[in-house]
Amino acid sequence: MYIKEASEQTGATQRAIRLYESIGLLNVRRAGKYRVYSEQNINLIMLIKEAQTLGISLSDLSRLKADDEDFDWKLVSDFLIEKQKSVEKEIEVLEVKKRRIESYRISINKCNQALDSDL
């Protein structure tokens, strides 16, 4: 299939697909001046898009490539473990912020009630 069909099937823009190819994430067979996308290419484009939704950058993905054809899946697994730890740490930080905001909100409400009762 050609790039237009690949774009429609994966939801990636044609520009994004060309970018994936230009940075070495995607190796596409050519027939003359046209790129011809295989089912493997389609699956890889969808994998790249999913990784991006998880906050994984294209440069991260480039570093995880073992060779021109596939990822180093051991490296990917280790990377995902580290990414999960990072997300868990972000959640902890956000929970602390949430508790602080709630505490401030309660304090402000108490002050407002005291002011209202003085009137």
Contact 27, 69 (CB under 8 A): yes
pLDDT at 65 (0 to 100): 86
Band the pLDDT of 1: cuts 50, 70, 90: very high
Residue 14 pLDDT > 90: yes
CATH of 1-65, one of 1.10.1660.10, 3.10.20.30, 3.30.70.1520, 3.40.50.300: 1.10.1660.10
Task: List b or e across 95-113, with b for residues whose CB sees 16 or more CB atoms inside 10 angstroms.
Answer: eeeeeeeeeeeeeeeeeee
Q: Taking every pair of C-alpha atoms in the chain, what is the biggest distance, in angstroms?
A: 83
Instruction: Give the chain's mean pLDDT.
Output: 93
Note if the pTM is more than 0.95: no
Locate the domains of the chain by residue range: 1-65, 72-119
pLDDT at 109: 95
d(CA 65, CA 13): 22
Average pLDDT over residues 22-34: 92
**Torsional class of 36: left (φ above 0), alpha (ψ -120 to 50), beta (otherwise):** beta
Q: What is the pLDDT of residues 37-73, one digit of tens each?
A: 999 999 999 999 999 999 999 999 999 987 666 888 8
